[in-house]
Amino acid sequence: MYKIILLLTALVLSSVGLRAQEFQGMAVYESKTSTADFKTRMEGNKNITPEMMKNIEDRMKKMFEKTFILNFDKSASIYKEEEKLEAPGQDGGGGMRMMASMTGGGGTYYKNVKDKSYTVDKEFMGKEFLVKDTLTNLKWKMEGETRVIGGYNCYKATAVRPVSKTDFRNFRPKDEKKEATEKAGEPKKISLMDELDIPNEVTITAWYTPEIPVNQGPEGYWGLPGLILEVNDGKTVILCSKVVLNPKEKAAIKPATNGKVINQKDFDETVIKKMDEFREMNRGRGGNNGGFRMRVGG
């Protein structure tokens, strides 16, 4: 009798463990980055006509307002931009695709919170990269505020994180006076990074719900005792608009496998180097400075 009880207990525990492994959820996030700094700078440019400005605004909206899908289980997740059909000739060209990949899109972001690692595939200048590295250890500070998001009770947490050199969402153009002063004594060759104000770190505000007890969130955000439903990261807000628990169709939560394997530091250095080369090449062809403002503005 004792052996039978032990056997039944083992079967029940095995079944519970299996169900926990099979648990899966899907969340839709709307990401929006403020472009007011760049729009103000461009509006002061007399060479930009109203028609050009309208085109610039449309392209910037496309780059900085995106919808993402997060599929998650207890230990891992994949975060990917929602696929949309593009009309012929509406992809913005290679420069726009390049910039889009630097604003949070253009790949599948896989993170495993169990082994604290992430993998994201990136296409840059016609080459496929597979960035593999360790998740940033966000030191969250639990705040006392609460609010309801999508019917879920959420709690506030804040953390400070370093700003990536290849994530342009928190970059801004330098003040013209400051830029002119720096250029007065600079060498002829200028890096793209010299034309931007880049904060060293940014404070993140997150809202998470313990009602969905997974250590997950959009993109590289993680480490809270509940699913993160909203993130305010500098100029970017990522807000969850829909959650489905245990959907009928399960997603394959696996990392991408195609591309040259590289860590984040080496990838950042490769991107900056290639973008400077691209910038110098445009300058040599008789274009303007070939810098960031030109590529964003079209």
Between the alpha carbon of residue 181 and those of residues 116, 175, 197, the distances in Å are 44, 10, 14
**Which structure tokens are listed for 44?**
């002061």
CB atoms inside a 10 Å sphere around CB 196: 17
CB 191, CB 272: distance < 8 Å: yes
Name every residue whose Cβ is closer than 8 Å to that of residue 161 and which is 6 or more positions away in sequence: 136, 138, 201, 202, 204
- CA dist 74 → 2, 112, 117, 211 (Å): 33, 9, 15, 14
**Which pLDDT tens digits describe the chain residue by residue (298 residues)?**
444 443 443 443 344 443 445 789 999 999 998 766 665 656 666 677 777 766 666 676 667 789 999 999 999 999 999 876 655 545 544 445 555 555 445 689 999 999 999 999 988 888 899 999 999 999 999 998 999 999 999 999 999 988 877 777 766 666 554 545 555 555 555 555 566 667 788 899 999 999 999 999 999 999 999 999 999 998 899 999 999 999 998 999 999 999 999 999 999 898 888 877 877 776 655 554 444 443 333 3
CB 105 within 8 A of CB 66: yes
